[in-house]
Structure 1
Amino acid sequence: MEMIVGLSIAGFVALVIIGVLIRVAHKRLVKRAIASRFPEYVKVNVPDDEGKNAYYRVEITDLERMLSRILGDRMLDFSIINKREISGQGQFGIVYRAEMKGRDVAVKTIKTSEGCTEDQLSEFLQEGLLMKDFDHPNVLNLIGVALHDDIPHFVVPYMANKDLKEYVRDPEKRITVRHLMGLCLQVAHGMAYLADQKFVHRDLAARNCMVSADIVVKIADFGLSRDIYSETYYRITDHSKPLPVRWMAIESLVDGKFSSMSDVWSFGILSWEVMTRGGFPYADIDSYMLKALIISGHRPDKPEYCPQQLYIVMWDCWHLDPYERPTFPEIAADISNILGLNEDLRSSFSTFSGSSFDTLYESNVRGHSELHIDDNYLSPKNQGDLKQKHQNIPRINLKNKKDEPPLQSPLTRFHRDSAGQPRYSTFGTNSTFGRNARNYNAMSGDVRDLNPYYRTEFQTFR
């Protein structure tokens, strides 16, 4: 009897050991299969002891040590992250809704089933690491990074209302014109912060701004958007990087130059998206034709419910000369003036939620603004056709008809002489405004790029 019991126990232990060995072997096979779809090295851009950028090419197996040095206590243990559901995905990237220590978070990573190239993994890693320095209510910040099978998982706050494009297009959302303008103002505040930090975004659009549960807009730079919103991106050549041409400034399209002033152009398009509740810029124009049409002067038409003063701000953002465009602090001031916000409210507006905006407006704004803003709730349905027809896109002409006054704004860019010819105002490149604009130039060496091109030579990480 004792022998039978002993054999039974031995058999059970043997089965357990075999099961453990099979599980370990399976994990190794899975890990090996995943590793075969991912590069052995990744490029990392980190500041050195002197604060200058240092570029490293790191073995993927050594990535945890590198990230621990960069992130410190924001290097997370993957076991504390409890994935719940997929909230967005594309061909290569995926975003999960998850829980971490009782807090709702979003986790962004690369699909293990697809794999990626060294450059794709390097860009993904760089985009995530850039968020670690952000500290502004209207810019998405990084909670931490966890590694699983040597693949980075970036943890950020969960945005219950998803991206700004999806938020404004939702017909169930009760949104007024001043709510839409408030969303634009939050983006302007966030971009003013990024410009002050000498960050160039390159891809500012409604799809790249997230909206929290209490309607606080946070600028993000999810490279995943190039994957999910593939119809909004276009390759200039067959082998080039996909570019958001419908949001790009003229100098970016023609010369490949990016700066905070090209971000200003993109902000104008974003504002148009918001005020149309999710319209698609130049919807009936093929991407192949778009560059020539923009060069010739075509711009999006004024949205039906957009106040004329705000459309003038958009128009200023689309000035051909980057140095004649307003800076983001000036844009924020202009929109605040249109809304009638006083000085005390302007500095804290970025944290006002949409749900509290009506109370704020009634108690502090109404009656103090010279602008009449339609108080009726708008929906995408009563906005009319969101896809502009080609023939309805106005051609910007500097010459006004004799019976029309010149277009004016708080920062008027040009006047007309007696013959009707454009005569540029004092806001030239030698003015204070021009000097400020030059400070935003991305060509200066100390500007940090949210979408950096990787260098060909890298240091060895030790």
Structure 2
Amino acid sequence: MELTNHICTHFELYEVDAGRSGTSVVAVKTLKENAAEKERADLLQELQVMKMLEPHPNVVRLLGCCTEKDPVFLIMEYVALGKLQSFLRNSRAERCYGNLHGPSNTLTSRDLTTFVYQVARGMEFLSNKGIIHRDLAARNVLVDEGHICKVADFGFARDVIASHVYERKSEGRLPIRWMAPESLYDNVFSVKSDVWSFGVLMWEVVTLGSTPYPGMAAADVMRKVRDGYRLDKPEHCRRELYNIMYYCWDRDPKERPSFQELVQLLEQLLLSETEYIELERFPDHSYYNMVSLSGEKL
């Protein structure tokens, strides 16, 4: 496989020689110079997880790797529209532009409901393989040109097929706003802690990429989640959709739904053809996006 046309660093795009079909663009994930040994270990762990997976339409696909000498490369499919988080945030400007200047390609309620359904399908596939993601969030889902969502970024993921539970041993920046209470306080991760994160991702999608727990510091989030506080229902979100989010946030992991059940619940909403996200009522003033906070992954 010949790689050409080096464009950027760390996460890079290349054109590859695809034989008779010409060239294809791929994404190549590698390490920056002077990367810490832990980052190298995380990249190799990500590779081990992705090597276990056969292709699935809602999971980013590994195409190849180079590990015989440094730097290590992971060669993955290129997903053209980038991160779901950015895609949702950019759609706000598109929506305003459309309101001012006539029709535009704005997202609809059905689009957004389909996004969460697709992520649930990807996570159902991973959980059936005995894999926990541990960092499920809109920033780690990619969107292709056909508006197909693909779960990505397996740097935190672990194969837990034997025990079904993973206990974190090392420190680092954490996705606090997406973490279940047992992960925040006991360092325990499971498929059911991924389900909690999925509920937060649903809230992100409904609010077009807003930062969860707006206006609250990380320490306040941790304390209030432990004490039973949950993200409020957005005023433009119908109760049926919010109830699925809330179901994901049960204090008892055993009481949370499985991803298989979430797929079924979301499929029922799509079949009903009701608008569960009333975007004409979207309150821009109520939500905002935080881009960096000390010690947090956002």
TM-score range (shorter-chain normalised) is 0.7 to 0.9
Partner of 2:35: 116
Superposed CA RMSD: 2.4
Partner of 1:194: 126
Contact 2:26/2:76, CA 8 A, preserved across alignment:
yes
Matched, 1:144 2:64: yes
Contact 2:83/2:140, CA 8 A, preserved across alignment:
yes
Deviation at 1:120, TM superposition (A): 2.1
Matched, 1:85 2:85: no
Partner of 1:292: 223
Distance 1:215 1:195 in 2: 23
Matched, 1:256 2:175: no
In structure 2, do the counterparts of structure 1 residues 202 and 312 end up closer, same or farther at CA, with 3 Å as the change threshold? same
Partner of 2:49: 130
The DSSP-based 3-state class of the residue aligned with 2:215 is: coil
Partner of 1:167: 87
Which of 154, 177, 192 aligns to 1:246? It is 177
The DSSP-based 3-state class of the residue aligned with 2:240 is: helix
Letter in structure 1 aligned against 2:74: F
Which is further off, 321-330 or 127-136? 127-136
Contact 1:82/1:98, CA 8 A, preserved across alignment:
yes
Partner of 2:163: none
The DSSP-based 3-state class of the residue aligned with 1:309 is: helix
Provide Cα deviations, 1:88-141, integer angstroms capped at 9, x if missing partner. Answer: x6xxxx1112111201111111112xx123222111122123212222110111
Contact 2:58/2:150, CA 8 A, preserved across alignment:
yes
1:26-37 residue pairs with structure 2 within 5 A? Answer: none
Deviation at 1:190, TM superposition (A): 0.5
Letter in structure 1 aligned against 2:172: K
Distance 1:318 1:209 in 2: 20
Partner of 2:259: 328
In structure 2, do the counterparts of structure 1 residues 152 and 375 end up closer, same or farther at CA, with 3 Å as the change threshold? closer
Distance 1:106 1:210 in 2: 12
Contact 1:202/1:262, CA 8 A, preserved across alignment:
yes
The DSSP-based 3-state class of the residue aligned with 1:105 is: strand
Contact 2:133/2:154, CA 8 A, preserved across alignment:
no
Letter in structure 2 aligned against 1:373: E
Partner of 1:207: 139
Distance 1:95 1:326 in 2: 34
Matched, 1:270 2:201: yes
Letter in structure 1 aligned against 2:176: V
Partner of 2:213: 282
Structure number with bigger Rg: 1
Distance 2:11 2:181 in 1: 32
The DSSP-based 3-state class of the residue aligned with 2:26 is: strand
Which of 316, 324, 332 aligns to 2:247? It is 316
Partner of 1:387: 288
Partner of 1:153: 73
Deviation at 1:325, TM superposition (A): 0.5
Q: Please, which runs of 5 or more residues in structure 2 have no aligned partner?
A: 18-22, 95-104, 157-169, 290-298
Letter in structure 1 aligned against 2:14: A
Contact 2:65/2:75, CA 8 A, preserved across alignment:
yes
Letter in structure 1 aligned against 2:187: G
Task: Indicate the percent of aligned positions where both proteins have the same amino acid.
Answer: 37
Which of 14, 20, 45 aligns to 1:98? It is 14
Deviation at 1:219, TM superposition (A): 0.4
- Count of residues in Structure 1 that have an aligned counterpart in Structure 2: 259
In structure 2, do the counterparts of structure 1 residues 130 and 379 end up closer, same or farther at CA, with 3 Å as the change threshold? farther
The DSSP-based 3-state class of the residue aligned with 2:183 is: helix
Letter in structure 1 aligned against 2:107: I
